[in-house]
Structure 1
Amino acid sequence: MTISRRRFMTSAVAGSALAALPGATSALTAPARAASGPGDVVGKITVGYQGWFACAGDGAPINGWWHWSQNWSQPPSTSNNVIKAWPDMREYSRTYKTNYPNLNNGQPATLFSSYDQQTVDTHFAWMRQYGCDTAALQRFNPTGGEGPTRDAMASKVRSAAESHGVKFYIMYDVSGWTNMQSEIKADWTNKMRTHTSSSAYARQNGRPVVGIWGFGFNDGNHPWSASVCLDVVNWFKGQGCYVMGGVPTWWRTGVSDSRSGYLDVYHAFNMISPWMVGRIGDAAGSDWFYTNANQGDQADCNAHGIDYQPCVLPGDLSARQRAHGDLMWRQFYNMVRVGAQGIYISMFDEYGEGNQIAKTAENAAMVPSGSGLWALDEDGTPCSSDYYLRLTADGGRMLKGQLALTPTRPTKPT
C-alpha cells in the first residue's frame, strides 16, 4: 500500500521564523524573465485527480477495495474505513455495495469504482461544467502490483478528457519509489509518452506537461540526492517536456519540510507548486502564508522565469475546517492577488483525506448510519453537493479576470 504524500505534515508555526539559505539568489537581484503566456496550465485551474478507487467485482487488475478500506480484501465498513467524507452517489450508474449500514435515508451504502469508465466520464463532465480546465492524473510507482490498474486508469482518463473537452497530464508522485531515477524514465518512454499524442494532453509553451511531485521533501519517503533529482528534471526537459514540480512548502529556504541544498533542483522546474495540505486549516492561516511564504515564492519565481502555481484546498471535512467555503475562497483571493500564474486544487477526488471538491454528501441523510462521517452542512450551513465545484468555478473566473478580485465569497452554498 503506497504511503500517501499527504501523510507528511508540517505546522505553520515551524515556518514562522525562516531565513533564506546562505548563498541563495535574492529575488531582488536575480535577472527577471518574462512569465509564460496562457496555456493549458498557466492562467488555468488544474485539479489533482487520484483516480485510485476500486471495488471488488469491478474488473480492475488490483481486485480489491483499493483506497476505500484499510484491508483492501474486505468491503469497507465502520470498522474497515479509511475515508473522511462520503461521496454523493446519485449520478453513478454502476455502484458497489459496502458493509456500512444503510444511509440515514434508508438507501444502501454504495460506492463508485474509478475503474468504471462511467465514473471517470462523470468526473470529467463535472470538470467541464465547473471550470476545471486541466486534470493532473496522479501516477505513483507503477512497477509493483498497482501498475496494471494505474496503466488502465491513464487510458480511461485520456478517453474522458477527449470526450468532455478537458485537458489532462501525467503527474508522477515519486513517494516511496526506490528505483525512481531509472524507472520513471522508462515508464515515460515505454508507456506514458504515448498519451501526449492525444488532443486532450495538456501543453504549455508548446510542450507536453509532466508533473513530478516529491523532490526535496525532508522525510524518509523522499530520499534522493539533489543530483539525482536534478538529473530527472533535466531528462524530462530534454525530452521536450514542460516540467511542473510539486515541491515542499518551504522550498526557498530549505528548512522544515524541505531538505537543504535543493534550490537548484527547484529552480530547474518550469512551474512550481508548493504543497499546502496539512499546513492551514482556516482563513487566518491562509493570510499568514500569503505574508510569510506566497509573496516571497512569487517574487522568486518571477526572478527565475518560473511559473508559480500555488495550491488551493477546500479543507479537511472531517476536521471541520471548511467554514462553508470561506477557507477556500480566502485562498483563491490570496493566490490571485499575489499574482499566481495558475492554481492547483488539492484535490478533486480525495475522499480519503477529506479535501475533495467532487460532489459530496450534503447532509446526514446521505451518509451511512453510525459512520461518524460529516456531511457538507457540518457547521449548520446547508450546502449543495456541488458547492465546492461551483466555488472552484468562481475562483477560476477570478484568476482569469472574469470576476473582480474580491475577498468576499460570491458563491452561495446552495
Structure 2
Amino acid sequence: MCGYQGWFNCEGDGADLSWAHWARHGNQTPGPGNVTVDLWPELEEYDADERYPTNFVHMDGSSAEVFSSANRKTVLRHFKWMQDYGIDGAFVQRFANGVGNDKLRRHKDSVLKNAMDGSNQYGRAFAVMYDLSGMRTDDPQLVQNDWLALQRTMNVAQDTAYLNHDGHPVVAIWGIGFSDNRPYSLEYCSELIDWFKQQGCTVMLGIPSFWREQTRDAVTDAMMHEVLRKADILSPWTIGRYRTPDQATRHAQEVWAKDQQWCDRNDLDFLPVVFPGFSWHNLIGAELNDIPRLKGQFLWSQIAAAKRIDASMIYVAMFDEVDEATAIFKCTNNPPVGAGVAFSDYEGLPSDFYLRLTGQAGRLLRGEIGDDFPFEEIVSPGLSEADQSPTAAD
C-alpha cells in the first residue's frame, strides 16, 4: 500500500484552492522563485483537460504543466497505474486540521470519492488515513464527526474496495507520540482509538521510529505503550531516519526487528514504512537530493530489509508527493529549466521505474521473487512493455 496525498490544486480546477502545494505563493502561478516541489510530474499520458500550464518552461521552450488532484480523470488515472504495476492500493490522506474548513473538506471529499471509484474500477484497495499533524485542539468530535459524515454521505467503510483487516475496515491515525510538542495529548489519541474500535474498525497508528525505547523522535511518557497496545497495526515513520542503503539495513536489523518482536508479543501487526529518497530544496532551501535515490537502490534496500525481518506488509511513502520528492508515480527527467531553477529527477530512469519497483516489492513479500535488486528486469531494453510489467509474472 502507498500513501496518496491528493493535495495538489491548480487555478481553474473548480476547487477554488488556487495553486495549493505547487506554489509558495498559492494565489500566483508557479514559476521561478514560486514553487514548493522538487520533482516534476511526467504528463505525457494525461489528456489536455488534465494539464494546467505554469510559468516554467522546459529545455525546448515549451510550457511546463502540472496536474490537479481535483481532476477526477487524474485520480482515476493514478489508480489505474496502481493496477498496471501491481500496487495493492492507497491510504488516502486526510488532515484533521482541514476537516473544519469547508473548501478543504470539499476537496478532500472529492479526492476520496474519486479514489473510491478508482479502486472499484481497477480492483485496488483504499483506506482513510487521518493525519493529526497541525491539529490545534483535543476536541474528540473533530475527527469523529468527519468519519460519521463520510459514512453518511459516501458509506466508505462498507464499500467493497475499502481496505479490510481481519474482517474490519481499516482506519489509520497518523501522528501519535511524536516529540515535536504537538498540542494534542496522548489522552486524546487514546480516546480516538477507543472510539474507532467501538465503530468496528481496525486501527492503524502512524508513530515515531523510536517509539519502543521512547527516544529521539518519540515522547517519553509512561502512557505511550499503553495507548499503542489499543491499536491493531503499528507503522513507525522512517523518512529521514536513515540516509543510505547500509543505514537502512542497520535500521531494520537494530530497530525494525525488535519492533516486530514487540508487536508479536502484544498481538499487533507491524507495518514498516519505506521511501525512495528525499529532497525539499524548493520547499525550505535545503540541499537538492538530500537523501539520494541511487537509481532505486535506496528504496530496494529498505524493501529487502523489511522482508528479511519477516514483515508481511509495507507502506510506501508516497505515491504522489513531489513536494519532498518521495513520489513513486511517473516523474520526468526533463523538468523545467532556467536561471535559479533546480529540480530533482529520476536519474535517467524510465518515468515508471519506481512504480515497477514497488510492484516488485509486492512480489517479494508474497515470496514470488528473491531479494536481489531487480534493476535489469525493470529497465532491460530487450523486454517488451508486457514483459517488463511487474504484474506479467503474477
Structure 1 length as normaliser, TM-score?
0.84
What letter is aligned with 1:323? L
Q: Tell me what 1:386 maps to.
A: 352
Pairing of 1:160-239 with structure 2 (within 5 A): 160-179=118-137, 180-192=139-151, 194-220=155-181, 222-239=182-199
Pairing of 1:42-81 with structure 2 (within 5 A): 46-60=1-15, 62-81=16-35
* Residues 1:234 and 1:409: Cα distance change in structure 2 (over 3 Å): farther
Q: 2:100 aligns with which of 143, 156, 163?
A: 143
Deviation string, structure 1 residues 190-232 (Cα, Å, up to 9, x no partner): 2256211211111111101100000111113x33222221111
Q: 1:280 aligns with which of 242, 252, 263?
A: 242
Separation in 2, partners of 1:181, 1:214? 15
| Match status 1:302 vs 2:264 | yes
| Match status 1:95 vs 2:61 | no
Contact 1:171/1:213, CA 8 A, preserved across alignment: yes
* Residues 1:345 and 1:411: Cα distance change in structure 2 (over 3 Å): farther
2:140 alignment partner, SS class: helix
Q: Tell me what 2:203 maps to.
A: 243
Deviation at 1:169, TM superposition (A): 0.5
| Match status 1:312 vs 2:278 | no
| Match status 1:254 vs 2:225 | no
What letter is aligned with 2:187? S
Separation in 1, partners of 2:315, 2:145? 27
Separation in 2, partners of 1:323, 1:413? 15
Q: Tell me what 1:345 maps to.
A: 316
Contact 1:58/1:113, CA 8 A, preserved across alignment: yes
Q: Which consecutive residues of structure 2, in runs of 5 or more, have no partner in the other structure?
A: 280-287, 381-394
* Residues 1:192 and 1:177: Cα distance change in structure 2 (over 3 Å): farther
Deviation string, structure 1 residues 38-78 (Cα, Å, up to 9, x no partner): xxxxxxxx100001101000111x43001111111111112
Separation in 2, partners of 1:375, 1:244? 32
Q: Tell me what 1:156 maps to.
A: 114
Separation in 1, partners of 2:184, 2:216? 17
Separation in 2, partners of 1:121, 1:369? 33
What letter is aligned with 1:125? K
Q: Which consecutive residues of structure 1, in runs of 5 or more, have no partner in the other structure?
A: 1-45
Separation in 2, partners of 1:295, 1:302? 11
Bigger shift: residues 131-140 or 317-326 = 317-326
1:55 alignment partner, SS class: coil
Separation in 1, partners of 2:151, 2:218? 29
Q: Tell me what 1:112 maps to.
A: 67
| Match status 1:292 vs 2:266 | no
| Match status 1:372 vs 2:372 | no
1:146 alignment partner, SS class: helix
Deviation at 1:107, TM superposition (A): 2.4
The count of corresponding residues between Structure 1 and Structure 2 is: 360
Deviation at 1:264, TM superposition (A): 1.2
Separation in 1, partners of 2:146, 2:315? 24
Contact 1:329/1:409, CA 8 A, preserved across alignment: no
1:199 alignment partner, SS class: coil
Separation in 2, partners of 1:334, 1:347? 19
Deviation at 1:90, TM superposition (A): 0.7
What letter is aligned with 1:185? Q
Deviation string, structure 1 residues 281-325 (Cα, Å, up to 9, x no partner): 210110221122111111101111111110111012541610001
Q: Tell me what 1:19 maps to.
A: none
* Residues 1:195 and 1:408: Cα distance change in structure 2 (over 3 Å): closer
Separation in 2, partners of 1:386, 1:408? 14
2:229 alignment partner, SS class: helix
What letter is aligned with 2:8? F
Structure 2 length as normaliser, TM-score?
0.88
Deviation at 1:413, TM superposition (A): 4.1
2:130 alignment partner, SS class: strand
Separation in 2, partners of 1:395, 1:410? 15
Q: Tell me what 2:283 maps to.
A: none
* Percent identity of equivalent pairs: 34
Deviation at 1:372, TM superposition (A): 1.1
Separation in 1, partners of 2:357, 2:17? 35
What letter is aligned with 2:18? G
Contact 1:249/1:274, CA 8 A, preserved across alignment: yes
Contact 2:55/2:63, CA 8 A, preserved across alignment: no
Deviation at 1:265, TM superposition (A): 1.4
